[in-house]
Structure 1
Amino acid sequence: MSPTTATRELDSIMNELLGLDLEVPETGCDPTPPPLARKERQSMKDKKGRTEDEVPEGKPKTPPSNMDMEKLKKTDMIDDLLGGLTSDMEKMGVNTVAKGHCAACGKCIAGKMITALGQVWHPEHFVCFECKQELSTSGFFERDGRPYCEKDYQELYSPKCAYCKGPILHNILTAMDRTWHPEHFFCTHCGELFGPDGFMEKEGKPYCSKDFYQLFAPKCSGCNLPVKENYLTATNGVWHPDCFVCADCLQPFRDGGFIEMDGRPLCSQDYHKRQGTLCGSCGAPITGRCIAAMGTKFHPEHFVCAFCLRQLSQGVFQEQDGKPYCKVCHGRLFLTK
């Protein structure tokens, strides 16, 4: 038997030992230990031919239980295997030295082992720090000198998506000082992914520009649409510049001035029209003194005789067919026959 073949056979036997699940106390490792096992008694009979269950006369005999007998048989079988193999290997110059102490249990490792994180382990003792799942047949992740399975490592240490709270394993998107799965970063209102226009934030939530302006931007008092850029403030509201016109004639204010009435802006002409203060003769607004006659108002200088066009001083006139006449013209035109 070659040293290589003997080593393979030792590993095979150690696998069998692990499967037997015997409780054999550890006594520590010796750099140059004696053979792994030494038979101190024969399995069933000694050299005198007496079975080990036999006891001297005069002493009570206690029969062993089935469990004790089974354990005894397994121990004897292991002793035979290890003793013979150890003897053969030492004759060939192969030292049966322990491989080190397990980082988990601190006991000697004589069979298979795992080397990881700069230490050696029994395969069954190299487990996930969180869930205790064995890692000997799978990959692992390391954090602060501790091994983790992939699931627990990602759950504990991977960045979390601000929307689904799950770990982000591949592509990551960073926005608003948080991390997101790219497919989970969308408009809070309509649920659509953001396009080239990007997003707008309100109270820690992302919105597309359309929904943001529709939900939060001030509305124009003229057209009731969101005001996004240039605007002006008047009559306790905001306006698009193009929407700030006279409420009646819909014309822009030429001199920038307007008169408010019932919360709406009016030009001077329409304001006085609503108030009934347009001159009945020239049609212009009356802002000073006026003469009220025939159900309308006039500038004093425009209240004249309809025939001779002389100013009707002191408001004395004669009415005929809705027109004012001085006393003289009225008498000549309508009283003389």
Structure 2
Amino acid sequence: MDFKDAAALIGRRPMQPPPAAPPNKLDNMLGSLQSDLNRLGVQTVAKGVCGACKKPIVGQVVTAMGKTWHPEHFVCTHCQEEIGSRNFFERDGVPYCESDYHQLFSPRCHYCNGPILDKVVTALDKTWHPEHFFCAQCGDFFGPEGFHEKEGKAFCRRDYFDMFAPKCGGCSRAILENYISALNSLWHPECFVCRECYTPFVNGSFFDHEGLPFCEAHYHERRGSLCSGCQRPITGRCITAMNRKFHPEHFVCAFCLKALNKGTFKEEKDKPYCHTCFSKLFS
């Protein structure tokens, strides 16, 4: 006699109406069916013992984590929902549905605080979704050059040096490698030149005027100490005339070129003349 015949006999057998079973007592119903089949000589073999309720399993069975379970008893430890055919995770010997496992145990992204389900970036002693690890200033993703850290934040190379590297006293751009320290500032070597003619300094010698470097000629020009006659710096005695300065030997008559003794002269069209030449030319 197979299972179907036995079930048919049971269906035809006169039976007293069973007492109303409490709802959702599937275990009791299966137990009663097993007893009825055993009385009819149909031997039923349990498929295992449920890992949750410890009772024999006669009907459907779930095999997981090295145990057998009634399907309705194989549930997520956290939300208690039946796992069924869904993916699950095991932790400390108990099952969790995929959603609860990630919410409870997966690493968190430092940017969005969401669980990281797949690839993870570990940096600055934190974890990140790959799409959430970017420059804190411009928002661009990091290229092969990587990133630079400042105050717990990650910056691309360009923004890091623009924001935090020392700036050149000449071009105001970031100094990344070699530099010259002078006039209480740092300079790119190619930027430390005369601020007027942009000529490099010979042997590093320069003149300071208002905190900027100048060659000797432009230093004296800025200070008003160039001879108007020879355009060379005046370092000793000088004559001041016509709102200009001269070496004494270069303050001469514009016509005869004789030195203007004791600074006596006549001026015409912004040029100095001795009295004799002035009288001949302009009287």
TM-score (norm 2): 0.72
Structure 1 residues 136 and 332, CA, compared in 2 at 3 Å: closer, same or farther? closer
Q: Where in structure 1 are there 5+ consecutive unaligned residues?
A: 14-41, 45-67
CA distance in 2, matches of 1:84, 1:317: 142
1:215-243 per-residue CA deviation (whole Å, 9 max, x = no partner) reads 33333332233333332233333322222
In the alignment, residue 258 of structure 1 is paired with which amino acid? Answer: F
Structure 1 residues 317 and 211, CA, compared in 2 at 3 Å: closer, same or farther? closer
Provide the residue aligned with 1:50 in structure 2.
Answer: none
In the alignment, residue 204 of structure 2 is paired with which amino acid? Answer: G
Structure 1 residues 120 and 80, CA, compared in 2 at 3 Å: closer, same or farther? closer
How far the C-alpha of 1:290 sits from its partner, in A, is 0.7
CA distance in 1, matches of 2:32, 2:105: 50
Query: Equivalent of 2:94, from 146, 149, 155?
Result: 146
Provide the residue aligned with 2:262 in structure 1.
Answer: 316
In the alignment, residue 316 of structure 1 is paired with which amino acid? Answer: K
Matched residue pairs, number?
263
In the alignment, residue 261 of structure 1 is paired with which amino acid? Answer: H
Q: Map of 1:207-246 to 2, 5 A cutoff?
A: 207-246=155-194
CA distance in 1, matches of 2:31, 2:186: 97
| Partner secondary structure for residue 147 of structure 1 | strand
Q: Map of 1:1-337 to 2, 5 A cutoff?
A: 1-2=1-2, 5=3, 43=16, 70-71=20-21, 83-89=35-41, 94=43, 96=44, 101-107=49-55, 109=57, 111-287=59-235, 289-295=236-242, 296-299=244-247, 302=249, 316=262, 318-321=264-267, 323=272
| Partner secondary structure for residue 86 of structure 1 | helix
Please tell me whether the aligned partners of residues 290 and 297 of structure 1 are also in contact (alpha carbons under 8 angstroms): no
| Partner secondary structure for residue 77 of structure 2 | coil
In the alignment, residue 43 of structure 1 is paired with which amino acid? Answer: Q
How far the C-alpha of 1:131 sits from its partner, in A, is 1.1
Structure 1 residues 283 and 255, CA, compared in 2 at 3 Å: closer, same or farther? farther
How far the C-alpha of 1:147 sits from its partner, in A, is 0.7
Percent pairwise identity: 46
Structure 1 residues 197 and 139, CA, compared in 2 at 3 Å: closer, same or farther? closer
CA distance in 1, matches of 2:112, 2:168: 38
Please tell me whether the aligned partners of residues 107 and 116 of structure 2 are also in contact (alpha carbons under 8 angstroms): yes
Structure 1 residues 165 and 134, CA, compared in 2 at 3 Å: closer, same or farther? same
Structure 1 residues 323 and 290, CA, compared in 2 at 3 Å: closer, same or farther? same
Larger Cα-atom Rg: 1
1:231-272 per-residue CA deviation (whole Å, 9 max, x = no partner) reads 223333332222222222332223422222223222221222
Structure 1 residues 83 and 130, CA, compared in 2 at 3 Å: closer, same or farther? closer
In the alignment, residue 85 of structure 1 is paired with which amino acid? Answer: L
Larger RCO: 1 or 2 (CA < 8 Å, sep 6+): 1
CA distance in 1, matches of 2:228, 2:186: 36
How large is the RMSD of aligned CA atoms in angstroms?
4.0
| Partner secondary structure for residue 156 of structure 1 | helix
1:36-74 per-residue CA deviation (whole Å, 9 max, x = no partner) reads xxxxxx838xxxxxxxxxxxxxxxxxxxxxxx96459x9
Structure 1 residues 7 and 279, CA, compared in 2 at 3 Å: closer, same or farther? farther
1:268-321 per-residue CA deviation (whole Å, 9 max, x = no partner) reads 21222222222344332123x313343544446x367666868x8xx7354245
Structure 1 residues 196 and 137, CA, compared in 2 at 3 Å: closer, same or farther? closer
Q: Where in structure 2 are there 5+ consecutive unaligned residues?
A: none
| Partner secondary structure for residue 202 of structure 2 | coil
TM-score (norm 1): 0.62
How far the C-alpha of 1:145 sits from its partner, in A, is 0.7
In the alignment, residue 239 of structure 2 is paired with which amino acid? Answer: A
How far the C-alpha of 1:196 sits from its partner, in A, is 3.4
Structure 1 residues 142 and 78, CA, compared in 2 at 3 Å: closer, same or farther? closer
Structure 1 residues 182 and 88, CA, compared in 2 at 3 Å: closer, same or farther? same
